[in-house]
């Protein structure tokens, strides 16, 4: 059954539920939602992804990393360690920086397996 959120109050209730989730559970919920917003047309692919931006006070610019989805098969259906986005690496296929709560994860853009440290 599809839930249509049409009012500010309904969107606020949904946002309040999402805010209570720890990071690893929020990432798993978004893993189920964001890929539905992928568009392929005229040879251009766009995908809605989750990213983490870090601003270091003593360095110019932002560091941007896509949030990789934990490899649930590797973790026997689990979501990896129950920690913040502490694991970092890059996707060997798209060469984008990724972060995750899990050492074994999937690139949210191309779906390739990533090993993070």
Task: List the domain range (segments joined by +) for residue 61.
Answer: 22-115
Number of domains in the chain: 1
**What residue ranges in the chain does DSSP mark as E strands?**
39-41, 44-46, 51-55, 62-67, 69-70, 87-90, 97-100, 104-106, 113-115
Q: What is the pLDDT along the chain (117 residues), one digit of tens a residue?
A: 566 778 999 999 999 999 999 999 999 999 999 999 999 999 999 999 999 999 999 989 999 999 999 999 999 999 988 889 999 999 999 999 999 999 999 999 999 999 999
In a domain? residue 45: yes
Q: What is the pLDDT, as a whole number, of residue 2?
A: 66
Strand 97-100 versus strand 62-67 pairing type: parallel
């Amino acid at each position: 059954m599809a839930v249509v959120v049409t009012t500010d109050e309904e969107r606020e209730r949904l946002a309040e539920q999402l805010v209570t989730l720890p990071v690893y559970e929020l990432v798993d919920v978004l893993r189920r939602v964001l890929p539905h917003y992928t568009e392929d047309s005229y040879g251009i692919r766009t995908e809605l992804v989750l990213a983490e931006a870090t601003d270091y006070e003593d360095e110019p610019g932002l560091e941007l990393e896509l949030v990789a989805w934990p490899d649930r098969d590797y973790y026997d259906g689990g979501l990896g360690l129950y920690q913040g986005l502490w694991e970092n690496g890059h996707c060997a296929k798209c060469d984008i920086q990724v972060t995750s709560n899990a050492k074994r994860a999937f690139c949210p853009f191309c779906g390739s397996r990533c090993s993070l440290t």
